[in-house]
């Protein structure tokens, strides 16, 4: 059996098993079929998969990897955020609301050796829970930028504390969440991709102690190691990167 046949057969067997176990009716089958088409028509497959499936892929793919904990990327990363100038501050509007927050720490390899010039691509929602590039009220580029670590691997970036937010819930994904009587919230978080030559990029998020929905993230992406406690508006967090996986051809 090739890989596609192995995985697809297992998936179909799992679905058939659920139908039998739960006596799924023809009417329910028709509703599910229409819902699957609606998700596609609404362009919500990336959203649905990142909310309900990505965390399992991430936890499985990086199980046992050296270095700091990662978590899901989600659908709101924009790869072309600018490299900012020191002293680093994420772009904001002149009248930006929100509690000031300074995030700092060190980027090292998995053995603790500093990684000079490491790049931290940082993005997060505003104090109302909206992302620039995805919400019409925010000018492009707000709360997005790349920060560079110094010669000792130290980084520091000024921003604000983002708010918890709901995943979009007016479409078919939200209809499923409502039908299951779940909530659509994610706890407040800051996204980062930390990268340095010769190392695996670390895709991660930092969450805040005491934040609403920390124990009930709809995307299931919270890990204990990623929960930080701001003290006096400051958070210290060190990132350790795993060595790059050697491609088989070069081994
Ligand atoms: C996020 O982390 O921004 C996110 C993740 C999954 C779905 C929606 C948003
Ligand atoms: Fe997010």
Q: What is the mean pLDDT of residues 83-95?
A: 97
CA of residue 234 to ligand 1 center, whole Å:
24
Residue 86: pLDDT over 60: yes
Residue 162: pLDDT over 80: yes
Residue 251: pLDDT over 60: no
Question: Ligand 1 in contact with 50 (CB < 6 A)?
Answer: yes
Instruction: Give the predicted TM-score (pTM) of the model.
Output: 0.94
pLDDT, position 33: 98
Separation of alpha carbons 176 and 170, rounded Å: 10
Separation of alpha carbons 12 and 7, rounded Å: 9
Q: What is the mean pLDDT of residues 114-134?
A: 97
Q: Which ligand is nearest to the CA of 167?
A: 1
- In terms of Cα–Cα distance, which of 188, 202, 176, 112 is closest to 143? 188
Atom of ligand 1 nearest to the CA of 205: 2
For the chain, give the mean pLDDT.
Answer: 96
Separation of alpha carbons 212 and 94, rounded Å: 27
Question: Ligand 1 in contact with 72 (CB < 6 A)?
Answer: yes
Confidence band for 245, pLDDT divided at 50, 70 and 90? confident
Atom of ligand 1 nearest to the CA of 76: 3
Give φ, ψ of 61 to 5 degrees.
Answer: -65, -35
Question: Ligand 1 in contact with 177 (CB < 6 A)?
Answer: no
Nearest CA to ligand 1 atom 1: 74
Confidence band for 126, pLDDT divided at 50, 70 and 90? very high
Q: What is the mean pLDDT of residues 100-113?
A: 98
Question: By the 8 A CB rule, do 101 and 233 touch?
Answer: yes
More confident residue, 17 or 251: 17
Question: Ligand 1 in contact with 219 (CB < 6 A)?
Answer: yes
Q: Which ligand is nearest to the CA of 203?
A: 1
Secondary structure element (H or E) that encloses residue 45, with its range: helix 45-52
Q: Tokens at residue 206, please?
A: 């930092």
Question: Ligand 1 in contact with 121 (CB < 6 A)?
Answer: no
Nearest CA to ligand 1 atom 3: 74
Question: Ligand 1 in contact with 51 (CB < 6 A)?
Answer: yes
CA of residue 124 to ligand 2 center, whole Å:
6
Q: What is the mean pLDDT of residues 52-77?
A: 97
Mutate to test the pocket of ligand 1, among 76, 169, 203 (most ligand atoms within 8 A of CB): 76
CA of residue 76 to ligand 1 center, whole Å:
7
pLDDT, position 1: 85
Nearest CA to ligand 1 atom 9: 74
Residue 248: pLDDT over 70: no
Within 13 Å of residue 11, how many CA atoms lie on the same side as its CB?
6
């Amino acid at each position: 059996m090739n890989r596609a046949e192995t995985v697809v057969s297992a998936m179909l067997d799992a679905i058939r098993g659920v139908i039998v176990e739960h006596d799924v009716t023809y009417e329910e089958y028709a509703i599910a079929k229409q819902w699957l088409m609606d998700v596609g028509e609404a362009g919500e497959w990336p959203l649905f998969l990142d909310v309900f499936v990505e965390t399992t892929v991430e936890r499985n793919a990086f199980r046992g990897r050296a270095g700091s904990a990662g978590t899901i990327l989600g659908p709101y990363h924009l790869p072309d955020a600018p490299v900012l100038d020191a002293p680093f501050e994420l772009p904001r509007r002149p009248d930006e609301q929100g509690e000031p927050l300074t995030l700092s720490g060190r980027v090292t390899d998995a053995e603790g050796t500093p990684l000079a010039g490491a790049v931290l691509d940082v993005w997060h929602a505003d104090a109302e829970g909206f992302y620039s590039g995805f919400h019409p009220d925010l000018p492009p580029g707000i709360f997005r930028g790349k920060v560079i670590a110094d010669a000792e691997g130290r980084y520091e970036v000024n921003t604000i504390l983002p708010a918890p937010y709901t995943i979009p819930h007016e479409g078919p994904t939200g209809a499923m969440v409502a039908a299951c009587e779940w909530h659509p919230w994610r706890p407040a978080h800051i996204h980062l991709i930390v990268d340095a030559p010769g190392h695996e990029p670390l895709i991660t998020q930092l969450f805040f102690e005491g934040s609403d929905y920390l124990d009930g993230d709809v995307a299931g992406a919270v890990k204990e190691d990623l929960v930080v406690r701001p003290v006096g508006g400051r958070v210290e967090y060190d990132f350790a990167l795993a060595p790059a996986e050697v491609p088989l051809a070069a081994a």
